[in-house]
Amino acid sequence: MINSPTVPRERGLGYAFVGGLAITLIAVLLGAIFLYWFVTVQRGPAPADLLPADVQLYASLSPTLSDVPEQPRIERALSEIFGMTLPSDAAANVAALLGVDLDRDVVTWIGSDIAIVVRDFTPVTRDVATDLVTNGEVLIFLASRNDPQARLFLEKHLTVRRNRGETITEQQAGNTTIFIGEIAHPLRAVGLIEHYVVFSNRPEALINLTNGANQPDRLADLTAFQQFRETIAVVRSGALYTDASPSAEAARAAVRAWLVKILGTK
């Protein structure tokens, strides 16, 4: 009888080990490529790179290494910039305004780069919160570290607004869809622009942002703002830039008055 040659058991185990190692290395390599894409491609221009130079007020929450907003820092920023103290139900008030669950629908995508911007503001009456909407342009930037989750948030938020009876229309600006409500409010229009969920009372403000960063006379080009941006990296919470005009101080009071309304604080 002729015995067929067999592969030694040790060699078979060696092949299995090498194969498993190769699979592991490929998985690690693919994970590294995805992480590089997620960290680089998902980060676009900063808000100041998209905004025109005539910004009157730019209130910023300084980013953290964890890239996730932290409630104590938000509270400190609001206190330092606007002299506000958050009530215990502030988060619940924001959730009710947006119509979402903050843990399920916001924490999954929001980054720590948050900014409130005012331009073209002229106070007319003593009701500065109303003037902010009718006689100014306000933008709220919320950084997205996960655009698919941010889109899910927008879908849910807009569905809630429609269910409340508000008509929402859509306007295309390049590859970006701007959603426009009918109620005069700083959250009237919203879109996902350059990895930021951006709200504004003026739809045209969001449309202008979609032109991108390669435009002349940007806020980021101003020497005064460049010096301000250097301070953001060292402050522990928030920082405020203004153009030093009388309207800028009025804009600060107007933003504070609006925040008091939605947060329930004083």
pLDDT at site 172: 97
What pTM did the predictor assign? 0.82
What pLDDT is attached to residue 42? 46
Residue 23: the pLDDT is 57
Residue in 104, 208, 73 with CA at minimum distance from that of residue 200: 208
Task: Give the residue ranges of the chain where pLDDT is below 70.
Answer: 1-43, 62-69, 233-236, 265-266
Nearest to 110 by CA among 141, 135, 72, 76: 141
The torsion of the CA quartet 46, 257, 76, 83, rounded to 10 degrees, works out to 130
For 190, how many CA atoms within 13 A lie in the half-sphere containing its CB?
Answer: 23
Write the CB contacts of 232 (distance below 8 Å, at least 6 apart in sequence): 60, 62, 63, 239
Contact predicate 238/252, CB 8 Å: no
